[in-house]
Amino acid sequence: MKEESKLMRQSIWIWDEDYPYHLTIEELKNPLLALQDVFSNYSLKDCQYLLWEWKHCNYRPYLFSFGNGVHTLYHFMCKIQKLLNVAWLIDKEFACIELLIACDESAFEKFKQDNYCNFFYKNGTDLRSIIKRNFQEEDGLQGFMNVLRHWWDLGVSFRHLDDGSRCNVGSEIPEFKRLNLMIETMNFISKNNDMKESPNVYACSAYLSLEEGSQPVKTLMRIFSKWEYEELKGFLRELFYTMNSHGGLETGIMGDRGGVVHTHHKLIDLAREFSLKDDNYFEEEKHFTLKDDSELGIFWEDCDRPPFHHLSEVNLAYLINKLRNTDYELLHRNLHEFMLFLVGHENVFKDDYMELIALFQRLEELQEVLYLLMLNRVQVDW
């Protein structure tokens, strides 16, 4: 029978205290329970995407608005706190070193092949050293806790949204990298201790609420009703040209460039929802019938049809096939990397602008597919 850890806790001011007080008594005795709680609520991709969007709250003029907004952010922050607490236990060797026994070289290789991550490529395979160095760079467990408190304010408090000068551009990128590294490390440990992960249970995805995901047609029509197709495409092209000046798109109906990115992440996940549907879904009129014609807005005016540059056909089967053959994870990831390119000092694309151009071409093509799919199927129940 495993010997239980006896964690000595000093009675000092809690904000300066290194102690895993976000874990229950049971989780302190068996940290695997904490890892299971985290990754049974969020997959690794959920954690990566939500962390991306939380960081981006530093660069856009609105609050955290992904999934179910503040509700999603609160639950996500609590899970990240648990991960950091377990990492602290491993670092302190409170009977947790056994969690690393299954993490051999073959497990590393499999994890690298199955997941998009970055810590393997830059930090080696010594997990304890990775965790210890991360805590040292962020001034211990409480250093991470203070980062999360600061990010929470940026995500939910209007006090930080007054004049756009709340932080230095790129200042949160090192914090983001350390948090992301810790998430990937703990997910790897979890999987190698036979823990199964589940998709986001608090929202349809990192970008869609449960309601939006359950009604993808209605959600997409709200976007097309708010902005004309050509207007959306114009915003996308303007976003592309900001790479030359690292600025622009600071005003307008969508807010700054973060609003353009936000909308296109939603479009990507809406397309992904459609790609998971079977053929019968697209044949049933009930899924594409809207009760209120006002939801269509100017979308339904079919005069002056806009040009389409990426599609050779427009029939339903062709459009559905295009949706099913799109790499949505790659689109999300590259769009995030473009934002890092804009706000940071690192050349994420390594001067390979062809890759960047290809990203925006894929996004334009996805817009065309979704727009034509709605033209093909949507109707109003008068």
Q: What is the 3-state secondary structure (H, E, C) of 308-327?
A: CCCCCCCCHHHHHHHHHCCC
Sign of CA dihedral 253, 256, 258, 260: positive
Q: Tell me, what's the pLDDT at 252? A: 39
- Quickly state the pLDDT bin for 166 (edges 50, 70, 90): very low
User: What pLDDT was estimated at residue 120?
Assistant: 64
Maximum pairwise Cα distance, the chain: 75
Q: How confident is the model at residue 257 (pLDDT cuts 50, 70, 90)?
A: low
pLDDT in tens, 310-319: 888 788 999 9
- Asked if pLDDT for residue 35 goes beyond 70, the answer is yes
pTM: 0.76
Residues 6+ apart with CB under 8 A from 35: 83, 86, 186, 189, 190, 193, 195
Query: Which parts of 93-215 fold into alpha helices (H)?
Result: 105-114, 119-123, 127-137, 140-156, 173-191, 210-214
- Per-residue tokens: 37: 């709680």
Is the pLDDT at 9 greater than 50? The verdict is: no
**Per-residue pLDDT tens for 43-94?**
998 898 888 888 877 665 567 777 778 888 899 999 999 999 999 988 887 6
Q: Which residues contact 139 (CB under 8 A, 6 or more apart)?
A: none
Task: State the Cα angle at 372 between 382 and 294, rounded to 5°.
Answer: 30
Let me know: does 371 contact 322? Beta carbons within 8 Å.
Answer: no
State the DSSP code for 166: S
